[in-house]
Amino acid sequence: MIRIGVPSKGRLMQDCFDWFSARGVAMRRAGSDREYSGIVEGVEGVVPVLLSAGEIPRELAAGRIHLGVTGSDLVREQLGEDEVAEIAKLGFGQADLIIAVPNVWIDVETVDDLDAAAAGFRRAHGHRLRIATKYHRLVRDFLQSQGVADYQLVDSQGATEGTVLNGTAEAIADITSSGETLRANHLRILSDGLIHSSQALLWASRVAEWSAADRATYAGLAAKLGVPAQPY
Amino acid sequence: MTQKAAIRAEGERLLAAFVAAGAVPVEADILLPAGTLLDLYGEDIRARAYVTDDPVRGEMMLRPDFTVPVVQAHMAHGAEPARYAYLGEVFRKQMRGSGRASEYLQVGYEVFDRAAPEAADAEVFALFRDLLAGLNLRPVTGDIGILMAAVRGLETTERRKAALLRHVWRPVRFRALLDRFAGRAPVPADRVRLLERLKAGSPSQLIEEAGTFVGLRSAEEIAARAEALVADAETPPIKATEAALLYDLLSLEAPAAHALSHLRGITAMLPAIGPAVDRFAARLDALAERGVDVATLAFEASHGRTALEYYDGFVFSFLADGLPPVGSGGRYDALTAVLGAGAFIPAVGGVIRPGLVARLKGAVQ
């Protein structure tokens, strides 16, 4: 049996079901729409596991699911390349992880400006410039690769765009799809502040146990989906 | 003997040698307040050190090295001059699949002495050389002080010099800034557009037009940097001859004695490095007195720039192929000023990894 983790609700679940269905693999929730179990038709030996999209990376890394559909932002934030393999980009769930600063920062256009502003900010205020985010690893790796100093990441698990207005951060790094919320909160994206361009992907766990039967099942599924016959 | 016991025995042997050389053995906490380390090294340290949480003391870090706690202890209640030695675990996150240890012993030796910094540099280096003799290691030395003196001596604005000095330990960014200040890299299109916008009005007017003011960074700070950007755009590039010397210095790799004559040669054109080169010469004399062959000792002007950002003078490593540095250290005068709340004392020291020594001796796998 291959266990495939799919998002349990909302737009992401529907887009995911549509993607599989367009390839002859019907996926739906069983029973009432409050029950978190699912059914796959059109291919034998595949069990859907309905999970919060945010938990799918962890389940892949633990090997409790063989396959999973979730955003590349969450996987890159939480996992290493030796834990999962990318099978297919699904073409939905697009969102960009970006850095945004107050629109009134007329002197800041790029990451380079942000670095210089951080140096001045620390001198003036005695603490490092705060960037609110929940994507600590992706943001830190990005800023480190750009050689940015004198900043600190402060954790924000929601309503991140409001942190500057509320005085708990000077800048933010967050997922945005349209930018409207940013504008409403008087923020502007740095012109070179794109950290990660995310979308939903189908991932294979390198940690899960893949028996010969599982691999055969996978090959059958892969043929329908039009992806390589080996998971990785 | 188990591997750990064999490594600890090697550590004890080295610690005893440091004590025999005059050091007082000291202990340091394993759980350190994260704030001090984060303020010193920035967020980058989070990728290297284990951060944990204490319900009362807040964010704590598993000791990533001894330098900070030893310096703090000395600045708080140390007598001068002082020599300290320590032995204990340090904890460093490693890249996946690197196979490198994330918990290992370090044994170290630190000298706080105002009298003769170059002699102290040589003392530490020679001590490490003696203790690591027979392991077929390759010593490499450097001097970040010369590079910093060269930057301070550039004929350009204080603002540009400060920007370069701030990034001495981030070579990629340093290089990008230098390329821009020297006119070797074109002004990025983003910056051109930004400058055009800034020239369209006074900073206060532009800030006003940008809408609702949010955030702690004040209008005065924003305006000051906007004005500085416009002024910087009109600043002429660093002279080509001067820039060429700095590029040459960044890539200087030669036996130490040869490097000294090369540096003497360029001091005429870059007089600001004179005192730093004199210190380099004094150090080579002190090393020679201790039997170091400076005619063959490797010198790399950029050595130590990618280490944790606190070395600001002499730096050294003892290297073996395929291993992390077996021994390494350097001078960190500025760090004592930062941690000493105004007080300052010249300091130099280094660490050895007993686990690697034991491995090279065949005592452990």
Q: Give a yes or no: residue B183 inside a domain.
A: yes
**Greater pLDDT, B97 or B89:** B89
Q: Say whether pLDDT at B96 is over 90.
A: no
Q: Where does the pLDDT of residue A175 fall: very low under 50, low under 70, confident under 90, or very high at 90 and above? A: very high
Give percent of chain A with pLDDT exceeding 70: 98
Q: Where does the pLDDT of residue B47 fall: very low under 50, low under 70, confident under 90, or very high at 90 and above? A: confident
Q: Stretch B19-43: mean pLDDT, rounded?
A: 94
Contact list in A for residue B185 (CB cut-off 8 A) is none
Q: Stretch A203-227: mean pLDDT, rounded?
A: 95
Q: Say whether pLDDT at B246 is over 90.
A: yes
List of residues 6+ apart from B32 with CB closer than 8 A: B60, B61, B62, B63, B68, B69
Closest Cβ–Cβ partner in A81, A107, A170 for B225: A107
Q: Stretch B88-116: mean pLDDT, rounded?
A: 91
pTM of the shown model? 0.89
Q: Give a yes or no: residue B200 inside a domain.
A: yes
Closest Cβ–Cβ partner in B44, B188, B217 for A117: B217
Q: Give a yes or no: residue B329 inside a domain.
A: no
Interface probe, candidates A107, A111, A125, A130, chain B, greatest B C-beta count within 10 A: A107
Q: Residue A33: its pLDDT value, please? A: 64
**DSSP letter (8 states) at residue B143:** E
Q: Residue B309: its pLDDT value, please? A: 63
Average pLDDT, chain A: 93
Contact A122, B338 (CB under 8 A): no
| Chain A stretch 210-229, residues whose beta carbon is closer than 8 A to a beta carbon of chain B | none
Q: Give a yes or no: residue B169 inside a domain.
A: yes
pLDDT in tens, B118-174: 999 999 999 999 999 999 999 999 999 999 999 999 999 999 999 999 999 888 899
Residue B167 contacts A where some CB pair is shorter than 8 Å: yes
Nearest to A2 by CA among A215, A203, A206: A215
Extract the tokens encoding B357: 């020594």
Chain B closest CA to A52's CA: distance in Å? Answer: 26
Q: Stretch B188-206: mean pLDDT, rounded?
A: 93
Closest Cβ–Cβ partner in A106, A117, A148 for B198: A106
Contact list in B for residue A119 (CB cut-off 8 A) is 162-163, 166
Contact B29, B87 (CB under 8 A): no
Chain B closest CA to A184's CA: distance in Å? Answer: 10
pLDDT in tens, B294-336: 999 999 999 988 776 689 999 999 999 999 999 999 999 988 8
Q: Say whether pLDDT at A34 is over 70.
A: no
Closest Cβ–Cβ partner in B42, B162, B191 for A149: B42
Q: Give a yes or no: residue B356 inside a domain.
A: no
Q: Residue B54: its pLDDT value, please? A: 92
Q: Residue B365: its pLDDT value, please? A: 76
Look at B43 and A144 and tell me if their CB atoms are within 8 Å: yes
Residue A126 contacts B where some CB pair is shorter than 8 Å: no
Q: Give a yes or no: residue B178 inside a domain.
A: yes
Alpha-carbon Rg for chain A in angstroms:
21
Closest Cβ–Cβ partner in A104, A141, A171 for B213: A104
Handedness of CA A55, A57, A60, A62 (dihedral sign): negative
Q: Residue A179: its pLDDT value, please? A: 85
Q: Say whether pLDDT at A80 is over 90.
A: no
List of residues 6+ apart from A142 with CB closer than 8 A: A195, A196
Q: Say whether pLDDT at B33 is over 70.
A: yes
Give percent of chain B with pLDDT exceeding 70: 99
ipTM: 0.88
Lowest mean pLDDT among A46-55, B20-29, B332-341: B332-341
Q: Say whether pLDDT at B1 is over 70.
A: no
Contact list in A for residue B211 (CB cut-off 8 A) is 103-104, 186
* Structural domain count of chain B: 1
Closest Cβ–Cβ partner in A147, A165, A192 for B190: A192
Q: Residue B308: its pLDDT value, please? A: 66
Q: Residue B341: its pLDDT value, please? A: 77
Give percent of chain A with pLDDT exceeding 90: 84
Sketch out chain A's domains with CATH numbers.
2-94+199-225 (3.40.190.10), 95-198 (3.40.190.10)
SS3 per residue for A174-202? EEECCCHHHHHCCEEEEEEEEEEEECEEE
Q: Stretch A11-28: mean pLDDT, rounded?
A: 93
Residue B163 contacts A where some CB pair is shorter than 8 Å: yes
Look at B222 and A128 and tell me if their CB atoms are within 8 Å: no
Q: Say whether pLDDT at A104 is over 80.
A: yes
Q: Give a yes or no: residue B338 inside a domain.
A: no
Q: Say whether pLDDT at B338 is over 90.
A: no
Other Cβ atoms less than 10 A from the Cβ of B270: the count is 22
- Mapped onto helix, strand or coil, the DSSP state of residue B75 is helix
Q: Give a yes or no: residue B86 inside a domain.
A: no
For B181, the domain range is 159-237
Q: Say whether pLDDT at A165 is over 90.
A: yes
Q: Say whether pLDDT at A37 is over 80.
A: no
Look at A106 and B203 and tell me if their CB atoms are within 8 Å: yes
| B253-255 and B298-300 beta bridge pairing | antiparallel
Interface probe, candidates A99, A104, A165, chain B, greatest B C-beta count within 10 A: A104
What is A106-145 written as a DSSP string? TT--SHHHHHHHHHHHHHHHSSPEEEEES-HHHHHHHHHH
